Amino acid sequence: MLIQTPDEGLYDELFDENHKVRPHCRTLENWLMNSDESLITEKRREANVLFQRLGITFNVYGQDQGADRLIPFDLIPRVISAADWQKLQAGLRQRVNALNRFLHDIYHNFDIIRAGVIDAEQVFANPQYQPGMQNLKLPRNLYAHIAGIDMIRNNDGDFYVLEDNLRCPSGVSYMLENRRMMMRLFPELFAQAAVAPVDHYPALLGETLRAASLNPNPTVAVLTPGRFNSAYFEHAFLARQMGVELVEGPDLFVRQNRVYMKTTVGPQQVDVIYRRIDDDFLDPLAGNPDSMLGVPGLYAAYRTGNVVLANAMGTGVADDKSIYPYVPDMIRFYLNEEPILKNVPTWQCRKPKDLKYVLEHLDELVVKEAQGAGGYGMLIGPRATQKEISHFRDLLKARPHHYIAQPTLSLSTCPTFVDEGVAPRHLDLRPFVLSGKKVQMVAGGLTRVALEKGSLVVNSSQGGGTKDTWVLENDQC
């Protein structure tokens, strides 16, 4: 099969700048070259049917039940060399450790604020900061038991952290199912390449959740918003794989600050809740009073220490865009180490010096609202009109505190099976990091790929797909 060559100036995961196959990708390239297009088309159809059968689909609200949608799965894996992974793993461990230290600090002693590394306002005025979490002792001082770190590879070949997800990061079931699918469709391929396994993720997650409680033999449950949630498949999948109950808010109740499940043999106390519901919806008495998803009294039980939530309440403050620029400083401050993973350089417009630079370079930067989400209120300098740029110049001058700016990064590409054949498409990577007795992760993560030519948007809601992610156990193959 013919593989289109990557674009000039971009980093491609399969080919180097001279269009030569990267040594660790030889097996894959060989397989691709020798695979017949009709075979791949056939396998692709098979994969679609299998995913439908698994029910790894999501319903769109208000549409007919016939509208079960699949996130597109690309058959060409993305390969990460053993050497790259070694570095990534060390960097992720370091970063998540520092983030957990930071969360503990801002709910207890405020050392980092006292030391002047981060302004008090940045933390305490953040809408994600939960004053109710202050001085609450959590087992092992852990807040983000499960972290999903979004990374991209820039055209300099280095990995950069784009965003830390410390609330309810999702997508891990796709990592697992994609691998299962690839092994089913192309067993011969795995016989040739030494790909690190990912299957044991649910076991590690179970271990992490049990370690989150002081009870040596805790009862764990997964709390889901229910079957209409787009990640419901994942919630059910993880509960089943861990052998724990999948509960919805109405399945739980609180009595004398203890949380119980309603079972066929009466109330059963729950010690650890792996919750896949946002802070605000967990307890109608403490957060959004209209929430039907949560459990009245849960927050009080949590404050009493009778139940552990994973992740903890109030982790959102550490994955906010306005805190993101400080993560390298956190690593230096708490761990006394140099950061292994790179942050995307970020100018904080509330600083006069940064603002000056941003105003001078608006046509080459991306400007985002510090507390915004979902790509709203954003300026992409290189693609903006003069009018938009001058509009943003006014906004920045009027309310510099509300904005940050970053250079436009180019995401790396990887050959992807699309309508026009096998062509390069941009992708990112989300490894999942588990913090319990120790920090653990399986080798790999979720690779999302933008299926539209030239697009940098990998989100599934906007036409993104996923790939199997291979971390090689050794690079000699």
Partner 1 sequence: MLSRAASSLFWMARYLERAESQARLLDVSLTMALIDVPEDREEQLSVPLLVTGSKEKFDELYGEITPQNVIDFLLLDDRHPNSVYTIFASARDNALQVRGNLSADVWDSINLSWMELKELRETGVTESSASQVFDWTRARSHIFRGAAYGTLLRTDSFHFLRLGTFIERADTTARVLDIRHQMALKSEEGQATQSFFEWTALLHSLAAFEAYQQIYGHNILPMNVAELLILELDVPRSLHACLREVVALLEQVENGEARKARRMANSLYANIHYGDRDYIAERGLHEYLTDFLERIQQISGQIQQDYMGWQA
Q: What type of residue is 428? A: D
In the list 12, 248, 283, 320, the residue contacting partner 1 (rule: CB under 8 A) is 248
Q: How many whole angstroms separate alpha carbon 193 and alpha carbon 206?
A: 29
Q: Is 236 one of the binding residues for partner 1 (CB under 8 A)? A: yes
List, in sequence order, every beta strand (DSSP E) within 131-206. 146-153, 159-165
Q: Is 263 one of the binding residues for partner 1 (CB under 8 A)? A: yes
Helix (H, G, I), strand (E, B) or coil at 5: coil
Give alpha helix (H) positions in 361-450.
386-398
Q: Is 261 one of the binding residues for partner 1 (CB under 8 A)? A: yes
Please, what is the minimum distance in Å from the beta carbon of residue 256 to partner 1?
17
Please, what is the minimum distance in Å from the beta carbon of residue 250 to partner 1?
8
Residue pair 151/439 in contact (Cβ under 8 Å)? The answer is: no
Please, what is the minimum distance in Å from the beta carbon of residue 332 to partner 1?
43
Which is nearer to partner 1, 247 or 443 (by Cβ)? 247
Please, what is the minimum distance in Å from the beta carbon of residue 231 to partner 1?
13
Stretch that binds partner 1, among 49-57, 202-210, 325-333, 386-394 (CB under 8 A): 49-57
Which is nearer to partner 1, 201 or 334 (by Cβ)? 201
Residues between 337 and 396 with contacts to partner 1, criterion CB under 8 A = none
Residue pair 228/279 in contact (Cβ under 8 Å)? The answer is: no
Which is nearer to partner 1, 22 or 44 (by Cβ)? 44
Q: Is 265 one of the binding residues for partner 1 (CB under 8 A)? A: yes
Stretch that binds partner 1, among 17-25, 103-111, 233-241, 370-378 (CB under 8 A): 233-241
The sheet carrying 308-310 orders its strands as 245-247, 220-223, 272-275, 308-310
Write the DSSP assignment of 121-149 as a string of letters: HHHHT-TT--GGGTT---GGG-S-SEEEE
In the list 47, 106, 193, 222, the residue contacting partner 1 (rule: CB under 8 A) is 222
Tokens for 410, please give them.
């180019």
Please, what is the minimum distance in Å from the beta carbon of residue 442 to partner 1?
20
In the list 18, 38, 65, 336, the residue contacting partner 1 (rule: CB under 8 A) is 65
In the list 52, 256, 408, 462, the residue contacting partner 1 (rule: CB under 8 A) is 52
Stretch that binds partner 1, among 48-56, 139-147, 384-392, 466-474 (CB under 8 A): 48-56
In the list 23, 157, 250, 345, the residue contacting partner 1 (rule: CB under 8 A) is 250
Which is nearer to partner 1, 66 or 187 (by Cβ)? 66
Helix, strand, coil percent content, the chain, rounded in steps of 5: 40, 25, 40
Total residue length of the chain: 477
Please, what is the minimum distance in Å from the beta carbon of residue 247 to partner 1?
6
In the list 80, 106, 211, 246, the residue contacting partner 1 (rule: CB under 8 A) is 246
Rounded to the nearest 5 degrees, what angle is found at the Cα of 6, between the Cα atoms of 5 and 9? 140
Q: Which residues contact 183 (CB under 8 A, 6 or more apart)?
A: 190
Q: Which residues contact 381 (CB under 8 A, 6 or more apart)?
A: 361, 362, 363, 364, 365, 366, 367, 389, 408
CB neighbours of residue 413 within 10 Å:
24
In the list 111, 207, 251, 388, the residue contacting partner 1 (rule: CB under 8 A) is 251
Tokens for 363, please give them.
């046509």
**Would you say the C-alpha torsion 120, 370, 332, 97 has a positive or negative sign?**
positive
Stretch that binds partner 1, among 8-16, 92-100, 258-266, 368-376 (CB under 8 A): 258-266
Closest CA to 149 of 369, 444, 465: 444
Which is nearer to partner 1, 261 or 477 (by Cβ)? 261
The footprint of partner 1 on this chain (CB under 8 A) covers a number of residues equal to 26
β 464-471/73-80 pair status: parallel
Please, what is the minimum distance in Å from the beta carbon of residue 301 to partner 1?
17
Q: Where do contacts with partner 1 occur on this chain (CB under 8 A)? A: 52-55, 65-66, 222, 227, 232-233, 236-237, 239-240, 245-248, 250-251, 261-266
